[in-house]
Amino acid sequence: MTETIPDAAPDLDFDLKGLPKVSLHDHLDGGLRPATIIELAEAVGHTLPSTDPVALGEWFRESADSGSLVRYLETFDHTIAVMQTKEGLFRVAKEFVEDLADDGVVYGEVRWAPEQHLQQGLSLDDVVEAVQAGLEAGVDAVAETGRDIQVGQLITAMRHADRGQEIAELAVRHRNNGAVGFDIAGAEDGFLPSRFKDAFTYLAQHNFPATVHAGEAAGLESIQSALVDGRALRLGHGVRIAEDVTIEFEEDEDAADAEGFDDTVNDTIGMVTLGELASWVRDRGIALEICPSSNLQTGAIAGFGEGIESHPLDMLYQLGFNVTINTDNRLMSGVTLTDEFELLVETFDYDLDDLLELTLNAAEAAFLPLEEKEALVEYINEAYADLG
């Protein structure tokens, strides 16, 4: 599927990597360095498909790209296997932050499911504390290089499991120790957010924010449940909200006549109709955490066409939806946020103003207090202004 992603560098007169970025949707167990996986696997006696960092990195990308869900899910068996000790969790979290900073990220929310890291006897609180210690060490390491980054944890429950309430309580318990939000992840189809209705009610009662994976592997029903049962303030992907948007093209005869030629491409008028759900998501500014390359790999956008150019993110963005750009799983997709921006510049001809708007959307949708969001927005605006 990657052959549809152009790899020629765009002709830009600015440094995409240096632009300040905000990352809202990036999984901790999907962003490890291959060399780290190899070292940690050796320490815990876990067997990998390869012990060569380059070959292992390729194995992850090929498996994610194979079109086989079984192979895709197998990749997480290996990353999760090396994240079962405090040492493993600490190191992965620390390097995660350093890698984000190297990509220009100044604010990042890191999501992961504590319940998947208890195989060696650690408790839920142990693993959250180990990851938090690693994230803080990463922030300190970045500061030593003269840069700044701020990160928060999105505590995630797995939808096929039944620990939603426990994980919601865990998240609230750690709200003053790095947890900034809650999410549910894993198999979306067949596991509606309504399964976790009580956990989401508990979170709402504690005024703790939730983003919900919805509109990726399932459609409008899942998005509706995320918003109603999950009280989602943001949608993880949410890309299939585009199924509730109808655009009818009609040839504009007058325009064709007036210009003296008949060009059905240039002289069409699109009649846009939003369903009630799409209207709610757009008009209320519910942020969509779009992950372009991942959406292509997992088939989330298969209903809209084949390549990245048929990704509905551009249509949603042009219609005023609150679109943010993210990576999802940097290891499996072999991408950085810089790569995703580059892809949008190449595919949709986005310029600096577009990238600024998408970045500000993410900053404003961050699970941060207002004062901190305002400071983040100001920092981003100033950095972009310096370019112009």
Binding residues for Zn ion (CB under 5 A): 328
In whole angstroms, what is the distance from residue 327 CA to residue 307 CA? Answer: 17
At closest approach, how far in Å is the CB of 187 from Zn ion? 12
Q: Could you say which of 109, 129, 216, 346 is catalytic?
A: 216
Please enumerate in sequence order all residues whose Cβ is within 8 A of that of 282, keeping only pairs 6 or more positions apart, or say none.
274, 319, 320, 321, 322
At closest approach, how far in Å is the CB of 27 from Zn ion? 6
- Specify whether the CB–CB gap between 182 and 171 falls below 8 A: yes
196/384 with CB nearer Zn ion: 196
| Shortest-Cβ-distance residue relative to Zn ion | 328
For the question of residue 364 being annotated catalytic, the response is: no
In whole angstroms, what is the distance from residue 225 CA to residue 238 CA? Answer: 12
At closest approach, how far in Å is the CB of 130 from Zn ion? 22
Separation in Å, CA 252 to CA 37, 176, 297, 315: 58, 58, 37, 20
**Angle made by CA atoms 58, 60, 62, in degrees to the nearest 5:** 65
Residues annotated as part of the active site:
216
